[in-house]
Structure 1
Amino acid sequence: MTQSVSTLVILGASGDLTSRLLLPAIGQLLTDQPERAFTLIGASSDALDDDTWRARVRESFATVEAKGAAVDRLLKETRYVEADATSAHDLQALLSGVEGVPALYFALPPAITAKACDALGTFDLPAGLTLALEKPFGTDRESAIRLNERLARLVPEDQIHRVDHFLGRSSVLNILGLRFANSILEPLWDGLHIQRVDILYDETLALEGRARYYDTAGALMDMIQSHLLQVMSVLGMEPPSTLGARDLRDAKGLVLRATRVWDDDPVTASRRARYAAGEIEGRKLPAYADEEGVDPSRQTETLAEVTLQIDTWRWKGVPFTLRSGKALGSRRREMVVTFAPAQHVPSGLTGTTEPAKLRLLFAPDALSLEVNINGTDDPFGLERASLTADFGPGALLAYGEVLEGILDGDPSLSVRADTAVECWRIVEPVLAAWREGRVPLEEYPAGSEGPDGWAGLG
């Protein structure tokens, strides 16, 4: 560990993101790495005193059973500053009171983050300042370019952390070890041996009070444009020389620059739907359009599916289908690699001849390799068998791994400027087709597996 940041300042410290995700991750990080020492400052426009702030931090730490000398030290020293994140005066005063090298974490809506960046550009910033911001990085390709230009005027790219907590998930990091440390697998990792790749993130959770954000985003922007494209880039990348930030992000960028909608036809390569009234695990749900805070005229989708192609030698002809949805009947969080079928099954063998499948599961992190084997009762009959392994939960929460990179000045797990723009470029044809009504907005009952007629994935 070579920590470069001395003080972590969270803008929007009174919000849900801070209490539910950031603070527990900090507590776990300090418990796991007790040699760490940094100052934590919470800042927002809410009127809180230091004692109230410390109580909130302590409460969040308790959810992960954070303990140890490093935790006690941070709890004793952390403080709160009432500040308007869009005010140059407040931000300058906040940063002038910071010791050592600071990092600013924008736990704020994107529009407020953009205004805060404008305010930061009006005065001299501390040397070494790191900026960390949450997705979405803009609302389309042009706004992502403008945001990058704002940020580039403030600090160098290596000091900008565009946070995508999926890139902190152990299951995503496990892809690198599985692919590149096993000579049995990597030679098969191409279009000659792989038939299709599906990346699924289906949830049983519904809107759960997130209408203010979700109704302006939808499943495509919330999950596919950001998280799932990043996962796809790790699955599809060429072997990097090292796992250093430059090599890893270069490899991901090459994949995304080569990615486009399947056959350049967003009408046939995408589908969308939203949930109608239904029931999940005994809980009755209203239709999405009737949820509090939802504007039905926006036609926001709660289930999105897009098929893409990667125009490289390795992936020629292989469809990558990304899907995410809410209020579905079963929770599926997995990457499924379907291998090509056997070229010839000898006569005399009967039973299943389904292609082999490799499943990499998110939370719980595990893998399963499904293959055909000879049956125990009839050696001429083929049966399906699964070889499984459990990766375990990992040492840190996803946000803990992200915060570790921010504190250590390692942007390996963050989204680079050009990558943020490419992700918008990839989905823009789909968004345009949806806005123009060329892809119908279908419906499915909450608690079902999706609209009738949708082919299953994985």
Structure 2
Amino acid sequence: MINRLVVFGATGDLNARYLLPALTALRAAGHLDDRFQLTGVGRVDWTDEEFRRWAAEQLERHDRSSPAEARKAITESARYLRADATDVADVASAVVGDGPVAAYLALPPAVFPGTVAALRDAGLTKGSRIVLEKPFGEDLDSAVALNRLLAEVVPEQAVFRVDHFLAMTTVQNVLGSRLANRVLEPIWNSAHIADVEIVWDESLALEGRAGYYDGAGALKDMVQNHLLQVLCLVAMEPPFSLSERDLRDRKIDVLRSVRPLTDEDVVRHTRRGRYLAGRIGDRDVPAYADEQGVDPQRRTETFAEVELRLDSWRWSGTTFRLRTGKALGRDRKEVAVRFRPVPHLPFGLGEEAEPNVLRFGLEPENMALALTGVGSGAHTLAPLTLTAQPPPPDLPAYGRLLLDVLHGNAALSIRGDEAEEAWRVLAPVMSAWSRNLVPLAEYPAGSDGPAAARDS
């Protein structure tokens, strides 16, 4: 196990909201001891003590549930280095030392190549690992180039392209439900499943993230990575085991089976939009174009929906709909598996049953199965819903990911060829949208999204 974690971009939101709380959870659970060393690297001119004070304030704000002694252990042992993440000498002073190190790039994607090159030239100790956040590159060409650069520094097994969605309890339950239950496993195919929706709709607006979001948009921020990863778990063939190679081989098979989209397909089966001013709950939300730091000329989308078909024996005829939007009227974060109707209903002429839908709630985490039963009247139908609440996870999603990084378990990490394949899937959409073949629809903040999407 590696006992040294160096976080580049340590004064940013990712470290404050997720990595520091994850480390305290690991400490509280006994996975980290006094040998563990956290080094924060940033451009702010801080001393060790100033960084520790900041870290303690962030944990007080974002992680009050962790034991005080765990928070104290993480913050008081941390050190800080003011450095340029692309300067070889600065990077060397952060990572060179006794034993291997896990270098976590909590940085904007545009900085990844410069930092990886600096890590290469600084000379990482054998056994070290590199961790990169999404999105991995800006497009297919940049992802290929970044993979080549990483291969010059560490072996592929030491590269962790992390996606915290893969460590969420309910996402893991998608695998458990479909692979470990006799009731579901035989019907997990297109003969029984009409369509699958993978949705991450949120009422949150931009929330001060213009620096990153306006250069990415909904398609790159959510669909290209998070939602495609969930698609892989829903649609993949049963792996021989959940080992690193078997799981990742089956995931990339799914991406390779996605039917390539033509321009006509993109026009018919994708939608994009941007929110206007509106009201969400008790707060007024300005139009996206008027948010601080936004360049209206970029025409960045805040809503994206893509329908995909898989050319495989299991899924021919099933539609997979990936959707995400900001500033919507309600949060809806789930995987909805909609089954086909039964061949015949003996309950009276003209009566129809609602389709059975199996829902995996992503946030909050829950499961629900919508069924049809007999109503109060003779020979009438009524909806029934069975619900389940998964047990709370032992660790938060980022805690699970960091533990895997420190132990070298890459099963939940995205392999290099998989990252490239995900860009290939959406390259036709990005191209068509850049040529305005699909109009940028507008929707009021607090609504259900663009009318074209609601009517689909």
Match of 2:20 in 1: 23
Match of 1:66 in 2: 66
TM-score normalised over the length of structure 2: 0.95
Q: What letter is aligned with 2:24?
A: G
> CA 1:313 to 1:273, structure 2 compared with 1: closer, same or farther past 3 Å?
same
Deviation at 1:353, TM superposition (A): 1.1
Question: Taking every aligned residue pair, what percent have the same amino acid on both sides?
Answer: 46
Deviation at 1:77, TM superposition (A): 2.2
TM-score normalised over the length of structure 1: 0.95
> CA 1:110 to 1:188, structure 2 compared with 1: closer, same or farther past 3 Å?
same
The size of the alignment, in residue pairs, is 452
Query: 1:260 is paired with a residue of what secondary structure?
Result: coil
Following the alignment from structure 1 to structure 2, what is the Cα–Cα distance between the partners of residues 423 and 447?
31
Q: How does 1:70-89 map to 2 (within 5 A)?
A: 72-89=72-89
Deviation at 1:34, TM superposition (A): 5.0
Deviation at 1:451, TM superposition (A): 2.0
Match of 2:41 in 1: 43
Q: How does 1:109-148 map to 2 (within 5 A)?
A: 109-148=108-147
Following the alignment from structure 2 to structure 1, what is the Cα–Cα distance between the partners of residues 111 and 121?
16
1:99 aligns with 2:89: no
Alpha-carbon contact 1:7-1:40 (below 8 Å) kept? yes
Deviation at 1:352, TM superposition (A): 4.2
Query: 2:102 is paired with a residue of what secondary structure?
Result: strand
Alpha-carbon contact 1:352-1:372 (below 8 Å) kept? no
Match of 1:231 in 2: 230
What is the CA RMSD across the aligned residues, in angstroms?
1.7
Task: Encode CA deviations 1:184-219: one digit per residue, 9 max, x unaligned.
Answer: 101000010100011110000011111111111111
Q: What letter is aligned with 2:278?
A: G
Match of 2:446 in 1: 447
Of the structure 1 ranges 98-107 and 150-159, higher mean CA displacement relative to structure 2 is found in 98-107
Match of 2:327 in 1: 327
Q: What letter is aligned with 1:8?
A: L
Match of 1:156 in 2: 155
Q: What letter is aligned with 1:358?
A: L
Following the alignment from structure 2 to structure 1, what is the Cα–Cα distance between the partners of residues 261 and 122?
47
Following the alignment from structure 1 to structure 2, what is the Cα–Cα distance between the partners of residues 288 and 182?
45
Alpha-carbon contact 2:347-2:379 (below 8 Å) kept? no
Task: Encode CA deviations 1:263-296: one digit per residue, 9 max, x unaligned.
Answer: 7711111011111111101211111111111111
Match of 1:315 in 2: 315
Match of 1:254 in 2: 253
Following the alignment from structure 1 to structure 2, what is the Cα–Cα distance between the partners of residues 234 and 34?
28
Following the alignment from structure 1 to structure 2, what is the Cα–Cα distance between the partners of residues 30 and 456?
49
Aligned mate of 2:29, from 23, 28, 32: 32
Following the alignment from structure 2 to structure 1, what is the Cα–Cα distance between the partners of residues 228 and 389?
24
Extract unaligned runs of 5+ from structure 1.
Answer: none
Alpha-carbon contact 1:349-1:380 (below 8 Å) kept? no
Extract unaligned runs of 5+ from structure 2.
Answer: none
Match of 2:388 in 1: 389
Q: What letter is aligned with 2:174?
A: I
Match of 1:359 in 2: 359
Query: 1:221 is paired with a residue of what secondary structure?
Result: helix
Task: Encode CA deviations 1:378-424: one digit per residue, 9 max, x unaligned.
Answer: 24110011011011441221111111111111111111101110111
Match of 2:165 in 1: 166
Following the alignment from structure 1 to structure 2, what is the Cα–Cα distance between the partners of residues 57 and 289?
33
Query: 1:344 is paired with a residue of what secondary structure?
Result: coil
Deviation at 1:338, TM superposition (A): 0.6
Query: 2:411 is paired with a residue of what secondary structure?
Result: helix
Q: How does 1:429-440 map to 2 (within 5 A)?
A: 429-440=428-439
Following the alignment from structure 1 to structure 2, what is the Cα–Cα distance between the partners of residues 346 and 80?
71
Q: What letter is aligned with 2:406?
A: L
